[in-house]
Structure 1
Amino acid sequence: MAVTFSDLHTETGVKSLESFLSGKTYISGNQITKDDVKVYAALLEKPSADLYPSASKWYDCVASTIASSFPGKAVGVSISSQAPSAEAAPVKEAAKEAAADDDDDLDLFGDETEEEKKAAEARDQAKASTKKKESGKSSVLMDVKPWDDETDMKKLEEAVRSVELPGLLWGASKLVPVGYGIKKLTIMMTIVDDLVSVDTLIEERLTVEPINEYVQSCDIVAFNKI
């Protein structure tokens, strides 16, 4: 929102100033900038505290800062809650002198510098990283079937457990008879959802060479979020 010197001579401009300042909590004496002083100098009078409470508070803050910065010109000046009287002239004069080097219209408080933008982005990233939730995990029960009753089930299990992936943890297992002397390996595993795809694990690791020498197929029996 741009507020120019000419705007501030009108009620609309003062309303815009109030809207811009409303809710701002950063206003304090040590944060007054040159642009604040320019806008202050452009105002014809102090905004009404009843109609424009934020602008009025800001006005007092700038006036106080200028008074402390120009003690020789502001001695005895007091800022009341009413419109400024003639005794406030030294402060106004000091503000005009401080703003004399740039009389062009300006955006209130100016644009953020590159350094300020980078600092704000860094703060946002830091907040996001602290709020980032840990990736979800799942518990999976899988049946691993051999080719026939002559398959060495001990070597089959060793082959299955030899698969190592980030986010994959093999758990308990047992051999379960399925008929005709054939047994299947039922095995548990815990996975980090963002790191491990069970379908990819089966298609690209458990049913290809060299493990497919023992493994004929794999079926997911249960899949539960932890």
Structure 2
Amino acid sequence: MAVTFTDLHTEAGLKSLEAFLSGKTYISGDQITKDDVKVYAAVLGKPSGELYPSASKWYDCVEAKLAVSFPGKAAGVGISAQAPSTDAAPVKESAPAAAADEDDDLDLFGDETEEEKKAAEEREQAKASTKKKESGKSSVLMDVKPWDDETDMKKLEEAVRSVELPGLLWGASKLVPVGYGIKKMTIMLTIVDDLVSVDDLIEERLTAEPINEYVQSCDIVAFNKI
């Protein structure tokens, strides 16, 4: 049974997900399914553990499962790799649909045998021993605000994405109306913590010349460790 949630980037959407997941580990039962993968891809970041405890626990379970099924693939890569869009509609919905089409012939989440579970645990233990030496990563959701309703939002996005730094990866974006004909751009980015400071990125790049011709200010909406 396909389960669909809408507006998962809003408080109302997260509340509906929280209510649905109350008392559940996964969306369709005790095993992860493609429904979980689709909804996981549609959520902009890990839900707050204080506001949405069930959804937050579910997010961690899905992320851990995906790490086993796709070792070495960082969380959020699937949605971050999409081409940017300047439409007001959410740009992330196409990613889970494409992933579902590509995976129709694969049984990625069937019941695991004891041997498979043991092998997965051994891989996780091996990765855990090396991760201590690696720099952590974070997923950031940022609001980028223009000066006024006459600001060219396409050029604003191009200016933002023109910033290239080691350890910085720009992800999906969308335009969100804020009133009086003005729209802000919400954009995802992934950073290597030891290489990129979000505060410095905002102060020294995004709100400095020449990008400040389009960008009035930037706000961090969500900051989650990967």
TM over 0.5: no
When Rg is computed on C-alpha atoms for both structures, the one with the higher figure is 1
Which one has a larger percent helix, Structure 1 or Structure 2? 1
How does the TM-score come out when normalised to structure 2?
0.42
